[in-house]
Chains A and B, each alone.
Chain A
Amino acid sequence: MMRRRRRRMTTRLPTTCSLPITTTEPRPDSGLITSTRNQELPPMAETLTLLDYWPSMFGMRCRIALREKDIKFEYQEQDLWSKSPLLLEMNPIYKKIPVLIHNGKPICESLIIVEYIDETWKGKAPLLPSDPYERAQARFWADYVDKKIYEGGRNVWSTTGEDQGEAKKEYIERLKVLEGVLGDKPFFGGDSFGFTDIALIPYYSWFYSYEICANFSIEAECPKLISWAKRCMEKESVSESLPDPEKIYMLLLELKKKAGK
């Protein structure tokens, strides 16, 4: 049997992103690899599918977690402008990606999916610390990322003028809080890459877009955070899960054009 060469996600994307994305066939870098890396083999007839959308930070979290644990999964790209019956069936309440489908049963919400992955596949790469206090801190800061970083970033790229100035200032302040929490540690979890790192690192692929839209440099404001991000990108699980920042920027331009901005 021919060995399928694993390709980086970014090389599969067209040079211009035309919306809406309609393909739902498994992507070649979906984890259906036949490399000789030490892999956790699922029991017989176990199925694992990730319903996802390539630029989604939330989807990236799940990809990273699965890859950290070397788990085989099928990646299914979703068209968010024409949602598939499968997505609507698996997430009837929010109708959103990501959804992890394990043996036909759906798990929704990215951080919940990451915890599920950690609890189901305990053998390798624990994603949460073992100490309950440290776990509480990891959950607190991952929740902070959800509350403050997603909307903060969206405000930066979607506003203009004075509003954008305010949004930029606020966003940098929030990133600086995280930088303070990181301190001199290599990762938020200490020596090991873990839950809070997984929650935040997907945003690194969007930083380029924010910087271009609002004309500023996140590295100049938060150098330690960018060093941390580059350290994370050295991990295969991360570099394989984050798209090319330039592709995200092109998508953003298309989205803005469609919204008439």
Chain B
Amino acid sequence: METVKLYGAWPSPYSCRVIWALKLKGIPFEYIEEDLYNKSPQLLQYNPVYNKIPVLVHGGRPICESMVILEYLDEKWPQQPLLPTDPYERAEARFWVKFAEDKGLSIRMIYRTEGEKQEKARRDALEMLTILEEHGLNGKKKFFGGDNINIVDIAFGWIAHWMGVIEEITGVKLVEGNKFPLLKAWMHNFKEVSLINENLPNREKMVAFFRTRRSLILSAAWHPDFGFISRR
């Protein structure tokens, strides 16, 4: 069997998505930790377009972008399917995956900004969470995938663990009090899944890492596409 390698970074939710999918399907892989402040020549060679993790390398051939990787894994290793078989249900699942990608940026922006920009990001994030609660989770069973997690649960996984870290670091509360009961239940259920629970980065380490990174982002030259300009 051709070797599977994953270039990832421990604090990254995108990296975790691929780890969760690989473990769910029981695919053996070699994990290579990347230093986000000092990227390896291999990573830059495998992902010349974005220079980002995660990158899956299968039999020497790279696949980039976490959700593209997940669809690839689902097609090569059909056990424990991530997507439904019915075309309409697949389209629905892909819609929510795209929603997670496009609208999830608002929560990241809370972390990357301050002042007015952060306030706008907070409003966008609340709108996103409301849509998720009312349209995405309404009428669903335990998970987006029914009784078991699927590609949509994995795509939203960062909400279950990373959103709390962002709330703590920035002091901007999104899910509080009695708001978003369905979302809270989903977050709890998601983290209870043993393969997820066993593959989440340590929360304290995350708080320290992201707190430092946030001060760097706010103080230094930082580009949304290229990261820290001096490191490009």
Contacts and interface: CB of A to CB of B under 8 A. Distances in A.
B94 A143 contact: no
Interface in B9-30: none
Nearest to B103: A93
A39 B99 CA distance: 35
Contact of B69 (A107, A109, A136): A136
Interface in A166-185: 177
A8 interface: no
Nearest to A120: B87
Interface in A83-130: 92-93, 102, 105, 107-109, 112-113, 115-116, 119-120
B88 A135 contact: no
A144 B49 contact: yes
Given A108-B95, A115-B91, A119-B90, A133 B72 contact: yes
B87 A136 contact: no
B231 interface: no
B95 A109 contact: yes
Contacts of B98: 109, 112
A133 B63 contact: yes
Interface in B34-72: 49, 58, 61, 63-65, 68-69, 71-72
A109 B94 contact: yes
B75 interface: yes
Contacts of A113: 91
Interface string A65-96: 00000000000000000000000000011000
Contact of B71 (A107, A116, A139): A139
Q: Is the interface of A mostly helix, strand, loop or mixed?
A: helix
- A-side interface size class: 20 to 34
B232 interface: no
Contact of B68 (A93, A119, A143): A143
B135 interface: yes
Interface residues of B, number: 22
Contact of A136 (B72, B88, B90, B131): B72
B90 to A, nearest CB: 7
Contact of A143 (B61, B65, B72, B131): B65
Nearest to B85: A119
A108 B97 CA distance: 12
B150 to A, nearest CB: 16
A136 B61 CA distance: 11
A221 to B, nearest CB: 19
B87 A139 contact: no
A132 B72 CA distance: 6
A62 to B, nearest CB: 12
Given A92-B135, A133-B63, A116 B95 contact: no
A15 B63 CA distance: 47
B65 A116 contact: no
Given A107-B88, A112-B91, A177-B49, A140 B135 contact: no
Interface of A: 92-93, 102, 105, 107-109, 112-113, 115-116, 119-120, 132-133, 135-137, 139-140, 143-144, 177
11 contacts: A102-B88, A105-B88, A107-B88, A112-B91, A115-B91, A132-B72, A132-B76, A136-B68, A139-B65, A139-B68, A177-B49
Interface of B: 49, 58, 61, 63-65, 68-69, 71-72, 75-76, 87-88, 90-91, 94-95, 98-99, 131, 135
Given A109-B94, A139-B65, A140-B68, 10 more contacts: A102-B88, A107-B95, A109-B95, A133-B72, A135-B71, A136-B69, A136-B72, A137-B63, A143-B68, A144-B49
